[in-house]
Chain A
Amino acid sequence: MTNVKMPALSPTMTSGTLAKWLVKEGDNIKSGDIIAEIETDKATMELESIDEGIVNKILFKEGEQNIEVGTVIAKIGDDDQSDDKIISNLPSINKDENPILNKNTITVREALRDAMAEEMRLDHNIFVMGEEVAEYQGAYKVTQGLLEEFGEKRVIDTPITEQGFAGLGVGAAFGGLKPIIEFMTFNFSMQAIDQIINSAAKTLYMSGGQMGCPIVFRGPNGAASRVAAQHSQCFASWYAHCPGLKVVSPWSASDAKGLLKSSIRDPNPVIFLENELLYGEKFEVNEIDDLIPLGKANILRKGNDITIVAFSIMVGKALEVAETLSNENISCEVIDLRTIKPLDIDLIINSIKKTNNLVVCEEGFPFAGISSEIISQVQELAFDWLDSPIKRITGLDVPLPYAENLEKLALPQANDIVEGVLSTLNRSAKE
């Protein structure tokens, strides 16, 4: 007898929902037959059988959620040995474990989609263009439902031709439209970077202020899960380096929504850096903050001993660290940058005036990164307020490796932030 296990159907899937069984106990199946539909973190997928034989047992009912990858879901073949152990191992499905599920929550993915949909309803000049954004509903399902609501005139699948459609977007923006250009991931924006920087960012200046370029380039940025060097890179410092671009990188769902809406309304080119690993994360909705202004950071947790600045996925890690360290009587103030350029340096400085210590976190490479910029500005503007040298916690200066252990070492982890905070506070205690 062979066990059919809940398969991993995407790089980020840890558990799945058994949406539908296409076979029943007693059916004789061949290798290649579709036996079930599984809902992953991104989509509903068909599960193909690798084995042949009689479906002996089906262990989960349709509709059961959160079945962990690797859990036996069915048994195929002769019942040669009873395998009660596995059956008694069925995970309990406990929705109360995650209290946030019971509140009014929204995923980052939905928040981004809602932001686009709401703005598109208000302004008919807004259109969405990119690879697989329409019929496929987005490679990461961020544009889900937009084609249905707005039609093919405004939600447009492109060929794989990034420099072409990025440039087309710039031209359309010059021509009076408001394009939202999706890069399937920002790694592919490198194909288009000339149009983004030389055309989108600089034309306003070169035309003596005549020709603005109201365009949003958006998509997932940074490392995902083991997709290796060419698909895992943070572009925050690349784009923030260039005058004429605004760069936004939200963490929470309501920030994602409010900032994307503001980015779409902004008359300048905006680079909107999302994070694939955050797409499925649920956050409480915050209806008051419908529009969130660009250029404003946010204090997510108040504290007195040290300031931790982070953006995007590092914010979650910083908050986790702040919580852990509060048990040791260390009080961390956590700032979510939200917008990288223009940088809300005032908020950071005011925080340092209170805490006198700073740790800056970013997932990207260290050399000439966003942390370097913040540290440089802080030492110019608030040197006298500091009790210790500023510490940065960043990814290592290596292309991202594929191997599981090396990838983990290359990316900044919560533990690295803990160590950074402790070493900084140690230094300041000695002074």
Chain B
Amino acid sequence: MSKSKKNILSKPILRRKKPINIIKKNSEINILNKEHLIKLYQEMLLIRRFEEKAGQLYGMGSIGGFCHLYIGQEAVVVGMQSVSKEGDSVITSYRDHGHMLACGMDPKGVMAELTGREGGYSKGKGGSMHMFSKDKNFYGGHGIVGAQVPIGVGLAFSHKYKNDGFVCMTYLGDGAVNQGQVYESFNMSALWNLPVIFIIENNKYGMGTSVDRASAGSSLADRGKAYGIPGVEVDGMNVFSVREAGKEALDFTRSGKGPYILEMKTYRYRGHSMSDPAKYRTRTEVDAVRQQKDCIENLKEVLQENKVTDQELKNIDSEIKSLVTNASDFALESKLPDENELLTDIYL
């Protein structure tokens, strides 16, 4: 363990204005070298910039329908995917662009799906909420709240059946957590010791309804208690905490002990979808999280403490910018799907 890393640990990694020690006793930060840290930063920044661009394209009318941005929550999926193994399967809801990028899907293909073009992952037929990549073990992209959860358990069932050693990472929202099928899923996964991690992304709201107005009980992490599923609350704004908790959960599950619940405390900065007037919370609330807990800004400070120079940071910025510009250029230049596609892919 190098000295410089030790220094960081002893110091809150927050903007100086309002210091709160958010990393506390976090061991993760000590075991990552500079390259690792940069990689996490790049992945989170890519999601942020990609989503900002998607928001712009929506405003221009190039993206239609529903479009749910992941801005603010980047540390959750980047942290989790950074500790998972290639071959682990991933499934989530409609707020899915970040998950796809974190699974290594091509930003061009994702953006082109958002614009509904033939170069998109679903040839333009699925759109923002319905994208898949068998290649990257990403099983969607589901528009029906909670529906991905039993499907995730099914993927876990297939891992166990094939004995392939992989785990299914099943992401769901704090709103989704009240769907009945979630508990049917908890029960089956615990009953049959299935390798699934339920990652509850608690961003405090399901559309306009805050968690306290929708969920009885004090902790979503405890929702698996009756089934004997361990559950932990995690600071989802801190990529190191996410990694630490993710590793523990993955070790547990991969060793055959069954499902695990992680409640990620996170926050979405933007409206529920593009058409959300967001009257249910104040600007001040959003700004406070942004200023105090932003996962990217905080990681940036860690990078700086780790002797990543301003020039390096600038270079990363412009790399990411050009990745996103290329994606959006591709998405706007790609053709509309051929009309013959209308009647394909209904049956095999």
> Contact flags (1/0) for A211-224 with B, using CB distance below 8 Å?
00000000000001
- Once the chains bind, are B214 and A159 in contact (CB under 8 Å)? yes
Please indicate the chain B residues that have their CB under 8 angstroms from the CB of A46 in the complex: 277-278
If the complex has contacts A44-B277, A226-B116, A230-B143, are A410 and B336 also in contact, measured as CB distance less than 8 A? no
- Once the chains bind, are B125 and A403 in contact (CB under 8 Å)? yes
- Once the chains bind, are A135 and B127 in contact (CB under 8 Å)? no
Please indicate the chain A residues that have their CB under 8 angstroms from the CB of B206 in the complex: 159-160
Is B27 engaged at the interface, CB distance under 8 Å to the other chain? no
With both chains docked as a complex, state the minimum distance between the C-beta of A193 and any C-beta of chain B, in angstroms: 13
If the complex has contacts A5-B59, A226-B127, are A405 and B66 also in contact, measured as CB distance less than 8 A? no
- Once the chains bind, are A409 and B339 in contact (CB under 8 Å)? yes
Bound-state CA distance A168–B221 (Å) is: 26
Is B142 engaged at the interface, CB distance under 8 Å to the other chain? yes
> Which of B56, B127, B278 is A50 in contact with, Cβ under 8 Å?
B56
Please indicate the chain B residues that have their CB under 8 angstroms from the CB of A226 in the complex: 64-65, 116, 127
If the complex has contacts A10-B275, A191-B179, are A406 and B207 also in contact, measured as CB distance less than 8 A? no
Please indicate the chain B residues that have their CB under 8 angstroms from the CB of A50 in the complex: 52, 55-56, 59
> Which of A136, A157, A161, A402 is B116 in contact with, Cβ under 8 Å?
A402
With both chains docked as a complex, state the minimum distance between the C-beta of B109 and any C-beta of chain A, in angstroms: 14
Is A21 engaged at the interface, CB distance under 8 Å to the other chain? no
Please indicate the chain A residues that have their CB under 8 angstroms from the CB of B343 in the complex: 396, 398
- Once the chains bind, are A160 and B60 in contact (CB under 8 Å)? no
- Once the chains bind, are B59 and A401 in contact (CB under 8 Å)? no
> Which of B126, B213, B275 is A157 in contact with, Cβ under 8 Å?
B213
- Once the chains bind, are B275 and A40 in contact (CB under 8 Å)? yes
Chain A at the B interface: SS class: loop
If the complex has contacts A11-B275, A157-B213, A226-B127, are A191 and B59 also in contact, measured as CB distance less than 8 A? no
Is B236 engaged at the interface, CB distance under 8 Å to the other chain? no
Q: List the A residue with the shortest CB-CB distance to B53.
A: A50
Please indicate the chain B residues that have their CB under 8 angstroms from the CB of A9 in the complex: 59, 274-275
Is B197 engaged at the interface, CB distance under 8 Å to the other chain? no
- Once the chains bind, are A406 and B275 in contact (CB under 8 Å)? no
Q: How many residues of B contact A (CB 8 A)?
A: 54
> Which of B55, B143, B178, B278 is A160 in contact with, Cβ under 8 Å?
B178
Bound-state CA distance A231–B116 (Å) is: 16
> Which of B52, B61, B213, B337 is A405 in contact with, Cβ under 8 Å?
B337
> Contact flags (1/0) for B254-296 with A, using CB distance below 8 Å?
0000000000000000010011111110010000000000000
Bound-state CA distance A190–B145 (Å) is: 12
Bound-state CA distance A226–B129 (Å) is: 11
> Contact flags (1/0) for B125-144 with A, using CB distance below 8 Å?
11111100000000000111
Is A139 engaged at the interface, CB distance under 8 Å to the other chain? yes
Is A300 engaged at the interface, CB distance under 8 Å to the other chain? no
If the complex has contacts A43-B277, A46-B278, A188-B144, are A410 and B61 also in contact, measured as CB distance less than 8 A? no
Q: List the A residue with the shortest CB-CB distance to B145.
A: A160
With both chains docked as a complex, state the minimum distance between the C-beta of A378 and any C-beta of chain B, in angstroms: 29
Is A262 engaged at the interface, CB distance under 8 Å to the other chain? no
Bound-state CA distance A62–B241 (Å) is: 47
Bound-state CA distance A40–B276 (Å) is: 11
With both chains docked as a complex, state the minimum distance between the C-beta of B342 and any C-beta of chain A, in angstroms: 5
Please indicate the chain B residues that have their CB under 8 angstroms from the CB of A187 in the complex: 143-144
Please indicate the chain A residues that have their CB under 8 angstroms from the CB of B129 in the complex: 227-228, 230-231
* A-B pair number, CB within 8 angstroms: 166
With both chains docked as a complex, state the minimum distance between the C-beta of A361 and any C-beta of chain B, in angstroms: 20
> Which of A43, A136, A229 is B207 in contact with, Cβ under 8 Å?
A136
Is A369 engaged at the interface, CB distance under 8 Å to the other chain? no
- Once the chains bind, are A135 and B208 in contact (CB under 8 Å)? yes
- Once the chains bind, are B209 and A157 in contact (CB under 8 Å)? yes
Please indicate the chain B residues that have their CB under 8 angstroms from the CB of A161 in the complex: 178-180
Q: List the B residue with the shortest CB-CB distance to A140.
A: B275
- Once the chains bind, are B180 and A34 in contact (CB under 8 Å)? no
**From residue 219 to 249 of chain B, which have CB atoms closer than 8 A to chain A?**
none
Please indicate the chain B residues that have their CB under 8 angstroms from the CB of A229 in the complex: 125-126, 130, 143
Q: List the B residue with the shortest CB-CB distance to A157.
A: B209
Is A316 engaged at the interface, CB distance under 8 Å to the other chain? no
Bound-state CA distance A198–B79 (Å) is: 45
Is A399 engaged at the interface, CB distance under 8 Å to the other chain? yes
- Once the chains bind, are B208 and A132 in contact (CB under 8 Å)? yes
> Which of A139, A231, A398 is B143 in contact with, Cβ under 8 Å?
A231
**Residue of A13, A40, A161, A225 with highest tally of chain B CB at under 10 A:** A161
If the complex has contacts A161-B178, A161-B180, A404-B336, are A8 and B60 also in contact, measured as CB distance less than 8 A? yes
If the complex has contacts A42-B275, A46-B278, A225-B64, are A136 and B56 also in contact, measured as CB distance less than 8 A? no
Which 10 A-B residue pairs are closest in the complex by CB-CB distance? Answer: A402-B127, A7-B59, A10-B275, A226-B64, A230-B143, A226-B65, A403-B124, A403-B116, A159-B178, A136-B208
A-B contact pairs, 29 of them (CB 8 A): A7-B58, A7-B60, A9-B275, A10-B274, A11-B66, A40-B275, A45-B275, A50-B59, A132-B208, A135-B280, A136-B207, A136-B209, A159-B175, A161-B180, A191-B146, A226-B65, A226-B127, A228-B126, A228-B130, A229-B143, A230-B142, A231-B65, A231-B129, A398-B346, A399-B346, A401-B124, A402-B64, A402-B122, A406-B336
Give A contacts to B, CB under 8 Å: 5, 7-11, 13, 34, 40, 42-46, 50, 69-70, 131-132, 135-136, 139, 157, 159-164, 187-188, 190-191, 224-231, 396-399, 401-406, 409-410
